[in-house]
Amino acid sequence: MFKLTDKTAVITGAASGIGKACALVFAQQGATVHLLDMNSLGLTETVTEITESGGNAVQYITDVTQQAEIKSLFKKIGKIDILVNCAGISNIGRADTTSEEDFDHVFKVNVKGMYNCLHEVIPMMKENNGGVILNMASIAASLGLADRFAYSMSKGAVLGMTLSVAKDYINDGIRCNSISPARVHTPFVDNFLAKNYGGREAEMFEKLSKTQPIGRMAQPVEIANLMLYLCSDEASFITGCDYPIDGGSIKLNTP
């Protein structure tokens, strides 16, 4: 079960964190993975790890916010069976403290970047009689997160895009879903703690972990395992859904 043999998968944001974990799991399950990111060092490390384990991976230093760049790259790749939109950034701030520049930057990466990939892959999938799209949302889209105004906004847009694509292309054999993680222990978390809580990293890591009912952060591979299921043939009856993977954060934190 959950084999991706002979499948071609494109994964954005594959240099670290959830995107990297997704790339490793998909390659392990037999997919040829085409990995996009702007972090050349991290991307090379991901590809090396895959190829040294016997998998097939190709890397592209790519800016998802540039539609012409995505168009050219997707044409070069050719047939795409699976698209995983993982590329994204965060931002700290409320509605009245988020600068216009920061707002535009978050929107450009998290929303326009995803749109660019959808815009280019959907005609290809229609021509190939189907495909699977998985978008990275967040519990921020459902709950809103304190001091994450722009980020929460962008992930709400991801949910809207997911439902729209699922409805518009269901008769073309294209499935589109999203997942909504809570806190995941990625390099972003470590860098955030080092930047904002120097000398108190361990203390704050524990505090953030315990805000989730399950008492810890997720590991990236745990998210990747759900991603594998949703992109596999075993999930062929699932489309237009968002899947929280949140350690109980949405339901169990509600009074």
Catalytic site positions: 151
C-alpha to C-alpha distances, 111 to 107, 119, 152, 243, nearest whole angstrom: 5, 12, 11, 19
Cα 170 to Cα 205: distance, rounded to the nearest angstrom? 42
Tokens at residue 187, please?
A: 């390099």
Q: In this structure, what token pair is assigned to residue 102?
A: 């920061």
Q: Nearest Cα to 31, choosing from 219, 165, 178, 224?
A: 224
**185-199 residues labelled b (16+ CB within 10 A) or e (exposed):** bbeebeebbeeeeee
Contact 113, 12 (CB under 8 A): yes
Question: Distances in Å between the alpha carbon of 8 and those of 5, 27, 150?
Answer: 9, 10, 33
> CA 101 to CA 247: how far, in whole Å?
33
C-alpha–C-alpha distance, residues 111 and 47, integer Å: 26
Find the helix or strand (DSSP H, E) in which 242 lies: strand 242-245
Cβ 26 vs Cβ 51: under 8 Å? no
